Amino acid sequence: MRHIKLPKLEAEIIISELNFKAIRSSGSGGQHVNKVSSKVELSFDLYNSEAFTLEEKERLLGTLKNRLTKNKILILQCGSSRSQHKNKAIAQDRLINLIEEGLKVKKKRIRTKIPKSVTKKRLESKRKQASKKDQRKKPDLE
């Protein structure tokens, strides 16, 4: 596979098109968790983005189809850190990585021809195994 790194300008366009929403984190954390919205929800409208060509959009829609909503919006959540700013940065990095992975072009596999010697060796081995099994049978006395 060929690794594609997003150009800095393209990444900046993507980041400018992001929508963030701060929500309260789930789980334990005491009093602090009940009053601070540190979890970040990132949404990115992939279909209406100006950062990609039509071909790139089609590729991304195909590779990320399980993660998209009906309106072709990608939603990521991050609540791993206690800081909203860190969670925002982590979510942005995840999005950029997802997009880079989605834009990778897989190499087409070229089938190799099986050498005649390998086929001959396999068939010879089968014959030996068959004769070995055949010799273990009880003889026919009739």
Tokens 């929800």 -> residue: 41
109 belongs to a structural domain: no
Q: Kindly state whether residue 2 falls inside one of the protein's structural domains.
A: no
In sign, the C-alpha dihedral spanning 114, 119, 120, 122 is: positive
Euclidean distance between CA atoms 43 and 95, whole angstroms: 10
CATH number of the domain encompassing residue 91: 3.30.160.20
Would you say residue 141 lies in a domain? no
Q: Residue 133's pLDDT is what?
A: 93
Cα(119)–Cα(134) distance, rounded to whole angstroms? 23
Which residue range forms the structural domain that includes residue 36?
8-102
Report if residue 20 sits inside a domain.
yes
Is 117 contained in some domain?
no
Q: What's the residue count for the chain?
A: 142
Residue 31 lies in a domain: yes
Asked if residue 14 is part of any domain, the answer here is: yes
**Whole-angstrom distance, CA of residue 51 vs CA of residue 115:** 48
The tens place of each residue's pLDDT in the chain, 142 residues long, gives: 445 666 666 777 888 888 887 887 776 666 666 677 788 888 888 888 888 888 888 888 888 889 888 988 889 888 887 788 898 899 989 988 888 888 888 889 999 999 999 999 999 999 999 999 999 988 887 7
Whole-model pTM?
0.66
Please give the tally of structural domains in the chain: 1
